[in-house]
Structure 1
Amino acid sequence: MIDAHIHADTRPYEDFEMMAVAGVDTAVSCAHDPMRMSTSEVVLDHIHRIMENDTKRAAKNGVKLYSAVGVHPRSISSDYEIVLDKLPELLENKNVVAIGEIGLENGTKQEKEVFIKQLKIAQDLNIKVIVHTPRTNKKEITELTATIIEDNIDTSLVLLDHVDKFIIKRVLDFNGILGLTVQPQKMTVDEAVQMMEEYGYDKFVLDSDMSSSPSDPLSVPKTVHKLRLSGVDPKNIKKVSYSNAADFYKI
């Protein structure tokens, strides 16, 4: 199984053991805002940690950890341009599979500017992006996010994450893929299963988004277990728990 979106830097060593024992052997750790991201140096140190230290911690437990790098909308420092200038170099690392997670939190002018610049880098380099959708004002901000995506990048390069019943119809026609984040306060296992039953299995990947927020490192295997108990075709289970993510990230 692949957990398509986590934040490994906020999790203890033991979580990776639990994931591996439950069958999650691959994950993608994204850049985010684990602290006050006041300067580009802090942001870059954070990125280097998820590219290096966390990769080693996961590997010791049998989890292959890939990285996504970029400027999260809650991690925009005053000198963020320094981070963007270094992105092409960071993306050359064989362990980095995407720019992310990026997007909008409140839809401010600066957030939109940083988001668009990163989308254009991804388009120019033909690299995948992981795009965040927020908890608050989700429908309104997602509409703005989707419009910016459509105007600036081939949607086949996009994984739009934290999709739920309130935004699914707006983004279902994207050529990219959609993340179902099974996490306390976001989406339950039953809600994820219902979403897939209604909209199919070709467009979705599963992730835990485990972080410093309430999280469950076993949410992907628990969802797979529920799909099996529900009698879902094993081929479809493999799509959402492995193949769709593997094909998207090319891992």
Structure 2
Amino acid sequence: MIDSHIHADTRPFEDFEAMAVSGIREAVTCAHDPLEMLSSDVVMAHFRRILKVDPHRAALNGLKLHTALGVHPRAIPHDYMKVLEELPELLSDPSVVAVGEIGLDSGSETEMNVFIEQLRIADETDRRVIVHTPRSGKEEITPLIADLLSQHIDERRAVIEHVNMDVIPLLIESDFMLGLTVQPEKLTPQEAVQILKEYGTDRFVLNSDMSSSPSDPLSVPRTVHRMRISGFGEGDIMRVSEKNIRKFLKIKN
């Protein structure tokens, strides 16, 4: 299994062991907003942490971490252009598999400018993008996110995260990959299974989005377990828990 979206810098050492014991072999850790990003220096320190420190902590427990780098919409410093100027070079690190987590939260003009600029960078560097949708105002902000993505990058190169039954009907006819975040306050394993029953497994990936918010590092294996109980075959289970994200991010076996 691959947990397709986590924030490893906020989690204790023991969580990585629990994930590995449960059958998760790989995970994608994304940049986010663990601190108040008052300047580009803070953002760059965050990038260094998730590039070097957390992969080592996870590897000691048998968990391989891949990295996504980008300016989260809640982590935009006043001098964000300094970060964006450094981002193309940072993306050349072999552990980096995507630009992310980027997107919109409030939908402000600054958020949109930073989002569009990072989409340009992703397009020029041939990178996939991992895209945040907000907890509040999801139905209003998600169509704007989708429109900006469609204007600036091939839809097949973006995964829109934290989707739920309120926005899936707006996205299901697109070519985006869709991320099901199984986390307290987002989706339960049962809700994720219900979505997969209704829409199939070709377009979805599972993740825990574990962070400093209420989280369950075992939410992906719990959802896989619930899928088996609900009668899903191993092919469908493998698609949403590993194959789709491996193919999307071009992660080698």
Deviation of 1:169 after TM superposition, in Å, equals: 1.1
**In the alignment, what sits opposite 1:237?**
237
The reply to whether residue 147 of structure 1 matches residue 147 of structure 2 is yes
Distance (Å, rounded) in 2 between the aligned partners of 1:243 and 1:191:
21
Partner AA of 1:89 in structure 2: E
Show CA shifts across 1:117-139 (max 9, x none): 00111112211000000000110
**In the alignment, what sits opposite 2:222?**
222
Distance (Å, rounded) in 2 between the aligned partners of 1:148 and 1:68:
20
**In the alignment, what sits opposite 2:180?**
180
The reply to whether residue 65 of structure 1 matches residue 96 of structure 2 is no
**In the alignment, what sits opposite 2:163?**
163
Distance (Å, rounded) in 1 between the aligned partners of 2:239 and 2:174:
17
Partner AA of 1:4 in structure 2: S
Deviation of 1:176 after TM superposition, in Å, equals: 2.9
**In the alignment, what sits opposite 2:212?**
212
Distance (Å, rounded) in 2 between the aligned partners of 1:87 and 1:78:
16
- Aligned pairs, how many? 251
Show CA shifts across 1:214-244 (max 9, x none): 0000000000001011110110000000000
1:94 aligned counterpart, secondary structure: coil
Distance (Å, rounded) in 2 between the aligned partners of 1:155 and 1:113:
19
Distance (Å, rounded) in 1 between the aligned partners of 2:87 and 2:102:
13
1:52 aligned counterpart, secondary structure: helix
Deviation of 1:173 after TM superposition, in Å, equals: 2.3
Distance (Å, rounded) in 2 between the aligned partners of 1:129 and 1:173:
19
Distance (Å, rounded) in 1 between the aligned partners of 2:244 and 2:176:
10
Distance (Å, rounded) in 1 between the aligned partners of 2:148 and 2:96:
24
Distance (Å, rounded) in 2 between the aligned partners of 1:113 and 1:204:
28
Q: Which runs of 5+ in 2 are unaligned?
A: none
The reply to whether residue 126 of structure 1 matches residue 130 of structure 2 is no
Deviation of 1:174 after TM superposition, in Å, equals: 2.6
Show CA shifts across 1:51-107 (max 9, x none): 110000000000000000010000100110011011110110000000000000000
**In the alignment, what sits opposite 1:191?**
191
Distance (Å, rounded) in 1 between the aligned partners of 2:122 and 2:35:
26
TM-score between the two structures when normalised by the length of structure 1 = 0.99
The reply to whether residue 33 of structure 1 matches residue 33 of structure 2 is yes
**In the alignment, what sits opposite 1:3?**
3
Partner AA of 1:163 in structure 2: V
Q: Which runs of 5+ in 1 are unaligned?
A: none
TM-score between the two structures when normalised by the length of structure 2 = 0.98
Partner AA of 1:162 in structure 2: H
